[in-house]
Chains A and B, each alone.
Chain A
Amino acid sequence: MSLEIAIDRVVGGAETPTAVVRLVGELDAANYLEVIDAGRRLYEDGTRRLVLDLSGLTFIASSGLVALHSLILIMAGEAPPDPENGWGAFHSLAHDVSGGPQMAVQLCGVGPAVDRVLARTGMGRLFLVHADRAAALAAG
């Protein structure tokens, strides 16, 4: 299956330039790099905070977790290397995720399939999870 990436920039209101990225379909090894690329472009355009609307995401593979983690690095200004190529990725610094959830990338609309993977891998603890887009944006 394919993945559709829809981006809404949030105009005004929020102090931090924010974009809502809606992922629809399945996030796996075939398309996780596209999500990372979308994050890079948003950062280059000035976005510093992402709300990931996962209500249309029916499946996430382990490579999808690399994409979510990379988005945190991107929003923190630590451009992650291309995870598919060579030693660069191997030796790059991982974001320090020991201090609880970060604020730069937040989730909403997490369905059971995605929630199970986030729980199984412990990646859920990285993210604040909101019921919907409005709640995520209100959280600032």
Chain B
Amino acid sequence: MTLWARFCSWLGAALRRSRMESEMDAELRFHMEGYVEDLVRSGVPGHEALRRARLEFGGMERTKEECRETRGLNLVEGLIRDLRYSIRMLAKNPGFTAVAVLTLALAIGANTAIFSVVDAILLRPLPYPQASRLVFLSEYSEQVPGMSIAMANFNDWRSENHVFESMVAYQSDNVVLAGRGEAERVRLRRITAGFSPTLRVKPILGRTLMPEDDKVGAERVVLLGEGFWERRFGRDPSIIGQQLTIDSEPYTVIGVFPSRLHGSLRTTDLFTSLWRLENELGGEKNRGNHPGIYAYARLKPGVNLEQARGEMKGIAQHLDEMHPDSNGNQSITVQPLLEAIVEDVRAPLLVLIAAVGFVLLIACANLANLLLARATQRYRELAVRMALGASRGRLVRQMLTESVVLALAGGTLGLLLAVWISAAVVHGMPTGVPRLDEVSPDRWVLIFSLAISLATGIFFGIFPALQASRTNVQDALKESGRTGSPGSSRRRMRDALVAAEAAISLILLVGAGLMAQSLFRVLHADSGFNPSHVLTARFSLPDVRYKGDDKSRNFVEELVSRIQAIPGVEAAGVKNPLLGGWQTSYAIEGRPLPVRGQHATTDFSRVSPDAMRAMGMRLIRGRFFDSHDNAQTQRVCIIDETLVKQDFLHEDSLGKRIATDVHPGPGVQPAWMTVVGIVAHVKNYGVDQPSRVEMYVPIAQRPGGSGALLIRFTGDIGTFASSARSAVRSVDPDVPLFEMRPLEDIVNENTASRRLSVMLTSAFAILAVVLAGMGFYGVMAYLVNQRTQEIGIRLALGGTRGDILRLVVEKGLRLTATGIAIGLAGAAVLMHFISNLLYGVKATDPITFIAVTIFLSLVALAACYIPARRAARVDPMIALRYE
């Protein structure tokens, strides 16, 4: 039905309705007059006949109302009438309305904001057709869950499985684009021809990668990302067929991929074929090499996740038997793609949802309490309406309309607040949270806020409405001038609501307290290095021009010596990788080789002599590397204290020899490295993240194509950064420095998500306490108001003001004590669920529980004290005259 047609039918009903109304009047008048005439005819005097007719007929208005209700069209009419009445009632009580709408706006706004974040990150599907059929594949071993995939394994998976309609392997890299203006570092994604069929993404210009492009020796071709095409080439379509120089090699541009991709794919600049690295990465001899390759696959129609997992498990077992040396006890992880992307943020987001949900519950309890108090004031109004023929259902409907109108007003204001809050949340979120840039109020957010407003209105309105409708007409009307007295069930409900508010806010406070403590401990934990006053930057050497170890070794030496010449530098060096390490298996000389497939692994990084000093690592024993540890001298390494603890518990590790090539081949000796130093353990991935044992080797003995500069300096970072940049350019203008930033910023990123969730949960907890405090205050103030007369009598009979004070405060504290007890029990159970998010503090930390209990009791005391003092100041004369 169109809107117009609907309007017409409504108008028709309304017109019919007014005719029905007058007909009904005429009919009832006819009845009345007929009856009166009959009575008069039978000898009853006129005025007495009229009285008797009215009496015997019963309530005229009630009859009319019942007649109206037999017609269906009454619903819309009734609703409009209810709405009009509600708005009038709310406008008459601006104070009440303002408090209620603001409370709701805060609660609904916070909920909507968090929902809009959750919607964008966890719920919205990825931007591909039938995205739910996409899975993420990685290898799994006990030492390294989520390990990257060996190219040869991927090839076998692809040829042996029957569950995927297509698969794509990919690897991310940074490369240097030279030849067109200044050399620029760009983000490259190496992909296979399965990219387009798997994700169902077509290029917006040119063609996509074909299986022929994946063949070894095929012509070098590249696709551009839409963002890069726009930024660098101004969307020039003639770019197709032109040449780009990537890492000193010429590539032909064949197409442009759209920016409608997920996550880091969207910000990828260039796409080339992964198989160009086949010689280095693929092949049987490289099955033990896991070079950062992962894969997406699309499930065949009719195949579910469990079937795919079963099939891949079988294939993994088969490969283990065929290649025990490299594969050992490896397995394959198959995860829905969306789940794999949002894995890390799911738990903190769910905690936030629970926290805002609690805030909303408290707001509901507050509103229910306000409405209960108001219903008591409106006792007589309700009784009068009932006497005039309103049925119980009508009264409940009317009062529910009022609360829903309130909730919708609060929701509208809340939606505006939500836009602002979610922008602030997104702004405060750490970089690296997946899909954060997709947060925007879409129709689901609108639907959510509408639904939550309606549900809230009904939820907090239903109990007070049912209560109020139980009004006893006779009693209410019989009572003298004072507003009616609350029934005991109404009082019980109010008490229960106050206790519930105390319980919920206690749970929130405990949660926020535990998370804040975790943050404090994370910020003050020893990370094993000192990030302040350290500047970092990354570089990557073009493979072609820096072929051979000597060239890259010379580059590093030259670079470091030029940096060290800059005034203000305390120590400078190169480390690869910057934080963390390459995972590698290792063996110790003189001990049996580990069982195949179960090698111990360590994080392994290459450092130039001063890099460890620049990073602020602590030497425990032995020495750091120096310029004598080079290609010509004995191979050496430094290990960390956790490796010592793990492998050298009963003997001195200094002077022992370790190798990282565990199975170099028959008849070949592993390249042993002598341990020359022991350093403090470095928490590479953030102090609250798991870390592995660590090993460091001189970069001169193991050169590599890329690395990060670490410069410890004194003075201003701005002038310093530009001199560092020019120092690098003087070594080789084709090697750009990128991601130049203080080490402290990188470290802070690790704690950013924790800081944000602490900030938000604390904000929600404070909001909850404020609302609960308002709730306590409201109930106690109401109580004192109700009992003014009783207090006056007590005072008149000789009660002291201290007695009164004690009476009121005791009553208030008894209520909150019940709530706190329930809250403590609830917190003990619920905190168990967030124990994974805590660091250095137990979920049942007694200090937090005690502190929060004291804090909440103080809030309750303050909320009770103000009304209690007012009660104690009651003048008995006035109180008694009040009646």
A and B are partners in one complex rather than unrelated chains: no
Q: B residues bordering A, Cβ < 8 Å?
A: none
